[in-house]
């Protein structure tokens, strides 16, 4: 008996689906070691497509995730369930390992700064606010090893206007983040997290 062509098409698609599923099952998300995990405090979620919350993890090399996070995906959703809806927040993303963790002479490399984020938006994972530095994807240089990409969330004091010092913010690298936190009166982060990745060609 001849089987209809649609049978073979369905069987072929099923086989592809099984292969894709098997590939994704092999993708292991490795947690950070104890030392690096100490930076993760306060249940701050960093959500990228397909990956979900990458807080306190290594970005796996499977499924081209390292390449996608560096070349395709735009800014992640940032969610903080403990946010006070009556307050505003400041979000900072930096790379402290520029150009490498062994020689971080350009720390901190500024990747993203958003101020005036409403607590209600943070609870929804939508960090809308006044952007002081546009989001820049993680692009660790070739052969520079693993880089940490750190996210720090602060409560914004009152209605104070927060700005970047034009002289010190002209370059993204060698940013004096501590000075920015001090003159903006941000205090201690209410939450922080980080993920680690390296150049996808290495």
pLDDT mean over 70-80: 97
Q: At which residue do the structure tokens 């809806």 appear? A: 85
Report how far apart, in Å, the C-alpha atoms of 4 and of each of 11, 14, 15, 16, 154 are: 11, 16, 17, 19, 62
Domain 29-197 has CATH 3.90.280.10: yes
Q: Are 58 and 196 in contact (CB under 8 A)?
A: yes
- Cα 53 from Cα 36, distance rounded (Å): 17
What is the pLDDT, as a whole number, of residue 19?
45
- Cα 164 from Cα 188, distance rounded (Å): 18
Q: At residue 23, does pLDDT exceed 80?
A: no
Q: Which sign does the torsion angle of CA 59, 45, 177, 71 carry?
A: positive
pLDDT in tens, 119-159: 999 999 999 999 999 999 999 999 999 999 999 999 999 87
Confidence (pTM): 0.87
Q: At residue 84, does pLDDT exceed 60?
A: yes
- Cα 55 from Cα 150, distance rounded (Å): 9
Q: Are 51 and 65 in contact (CB under 8 A)?
A: yes
For the chain, give every domain's residue range: 29-197
Report how far apart, in Å, the C-alpha atoms of 67 and of each of 73, 108, 138 are: 9, 22, 10
Average pLDDT, the chain: 89
Query: Around Cβ 18, how many Cβ atoms within 10 Å?
Result: 10
């Amino acid at each position: 008996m001849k089987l209809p062509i649609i049978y073979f098409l369905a069987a072929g698609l099923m086989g592809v689906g099984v292969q894709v599923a098997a590939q994704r099952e092999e993708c292991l998300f490795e947690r950070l070691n104890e030392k690096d995990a100490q930076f993760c405090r306060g249940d701050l979620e960093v959500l990228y497509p397909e990956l979900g919350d990458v807080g306190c993890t290594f970005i796996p090399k499977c499924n081209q995730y390292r390449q996608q996070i560096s070349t395709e995906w735009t800014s992640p959703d940032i969610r903080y369930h403990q946010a006070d809806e009556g307050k505003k927040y400041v979000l900072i993303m930096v790379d402290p390992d520029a150009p490498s963790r062994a020689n971080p002479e350009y720390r901190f490399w500024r990747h993203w700064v958003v101020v005036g984020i409403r607590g209600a938006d943070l609870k929804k994972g939508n960090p809308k606010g006044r952007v002081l530095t546009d989001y820049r994807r993680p692009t660790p240089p070739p052969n520079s090893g693993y880089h940490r990409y750190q996210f720090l969330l602060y409560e914004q004091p009152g209605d104070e206007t927060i700005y970047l010092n034009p002289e010190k913010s002209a370059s993204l690298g060698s940013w004096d983040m501590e000075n920015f936190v001090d003159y903006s009166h941000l205090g201690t982060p209410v939450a922080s997290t980080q993920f680690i990745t390296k150049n996808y060609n290495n």
